[in-house]
Amino acid sequence: MANNLQVLGIESSCDETGVALVEVCGNALPVLLAHALHSQIEMHQAYGGVVPELASRDHIRRVLPLTEQVLAQAKRTLADIDVVAFTRGPGLAGALLVGAGVACALGAALKKPVLGVHHLEGHLLSPFLSADPPEFPFVALLVSGGHTQLMRVDGVGRYTLLGETIDDAAGEAFDKSAKLLGLGYPGGPALARLAEQGNPAAFRLPRPLLNSANLDFSFAGLKTAVMVQAKKLAAVQACAVEALPANVLADLAASTQAAIVEVLVKKSLAALQQSGLQRLVVAGGVGANRMLRQQLNAACARQRLRVHYPELHLCTDNGAMIAMAAAMRLQSGQQSASKVYAFDVKPRWPLDAL
Ligand code: KG4
Ligand code: ZN
């Protein structure tokens, strides 16, 4: 592989448009030169969740201005780009098509190859952009809005699924519980903020599969338990759930967060123990959760295990992780970029199928 490759990455799988430029120098860890992000949160807020059609239209508006911004920040021009990477899946089909279409058009116009990246591989490898990058092998806890998985990671593209959720993802449990407490969208960060003021032991909510022998998760029952508890409290006070006193809502939020975090921490440690590995990597939006980080840090410190996270601002969706995953795949020889611009996307795409 030629030295000093500049890889442009475009993320458009859901409600953030992200663009980034990463530089690959030989075998050294690729370096992030610049990245830019536009969050659609404000736009979707009025609807209480992501509206796929609006997401696609907004990606179209944002992606080229963000690309110009990234190139200007990195002091590069279009002509400097060697490879154009994009999120190929999983995600919203229309939203993915925007990133794929723009990436392939750019590639064709610049006569440069393109490379489709797995969104979760982007999350998984995003800690390599941090000041404390991990080393292979490690156990990865992937916790995003759509996925909750424990993987054994032996190298780039060498992923073995150890366990996953059998129903809702951890992010979904945060989002759905937040919605029924009247906290709106995006629910995870809002619930986490409110939980800071509450008592995590106020309500005993279920910890599904906490003591199961396998490494699977189940979060669907938790939101039902939160709803039952909230409705019981609201009935006593003769008010709507959202109108419950602030301290009661905070206690509910804190108890919900505590239930999710306890299961994630216990299963991550079990995965480390079962695999005999010493290193945990946490990635995906829920990896930004403060309580999860605190409890994982404490548990890993007690057992002399290492734990790595992406930088906080790179936990949720962004272009840097897509450019980084592409760069690391190219560097490791797992994949080469292609000048075939007949793109397709994969809205459903299991990571261990890579
Ligand atoms: O990885 P991500 O940005 O998008 C997906 O690929 O799904 O993850 C988004 C998920 C959402 O469910 C969001 O509520 C959750 O991550 N999230 C959080 C926090 N920040 C984002 N959940 C709990 N605490 C947070 N601080
Ligand atoms: Zn994501």
Specify the residue for token string 């999350």: 123
Which atom of ligand 1 is the closest one to the Cα of 169?
12
Please tell me whether residues 43 and 120 are part of one structural domain.
Answer: yes
Where in the sequence is the domain holding 225, given as residue range(s)?
A: 136-309
Q: Residue 184: its pLDDT value, please?
A: 87
Which atom of ligand 1 is the closest one to the Cα of 188?
14
* CATH assignment of the domain containing 111: 3.30.420.40
Across the range 233-246, mean pLDDT stands at 96
Q: Residue 185: its pLDDT value, please?
A: 87
Out of 120, 123, 165, 286, mutate this one to test ligand 1's pocket (max ligand atoms within 8 Å of CB): namely 286
DSSP code of residue 200: T
Cis? peptide before 90, omega within 30° of 0: yes
Tell me whether residue 131 is in a domain: no
Cα(27)–Cα(59) distance, rounded to whole angstroms?
33
pLDDT in tens, 284-306: 999 999 999 999 999 999 999 99
Tell me whether residue 249 is in a domain: yes
Q: Residue 1: its pLDDT value, please?
A: 44
Tell me the two tokens of residue 78. 């279009």
Mean pLDDT of the chain: 96
Please tell me whether residues 151 and 284 are part of one structural domain.
Answer: yes
Please tell me whether residues 155 and 248 are part of one structural domain.
Answer: yes
**With a 6 A CB cut-off, is 184 part of the ligand 1 pocket?**
no
Q: Residue 3: its pLDDT value, please?
A: 66
Q: Contact at 8 Å (CB) between 263 and 217?
A: yes
**Model's pTM, two decimal places?**
0.94
Please tell me whether residues 174 and 283 are part of one structural domain.
Answer: yes
Is residue 99 predicted with pLDDT exceeding 60?
A: yes
Cα(71)–Cα(34) distance, rounded to whole angstroms?
8
Please tell me whether residues 37 and 72 are part of one structural domain.
Answer: yes
| Number of domains within the chain | 2
Please tell me whether residues 298 and 320 are part of one structural domain.
Answer: no
> Which residue blocks in 183-239 are alpha helix, DSSP H?
187-195, 220-237
Across the range 246-270, mean pLDDT stands at 98
Cα(12)–Cα(136) distance, rounded to whole angstroms?
28
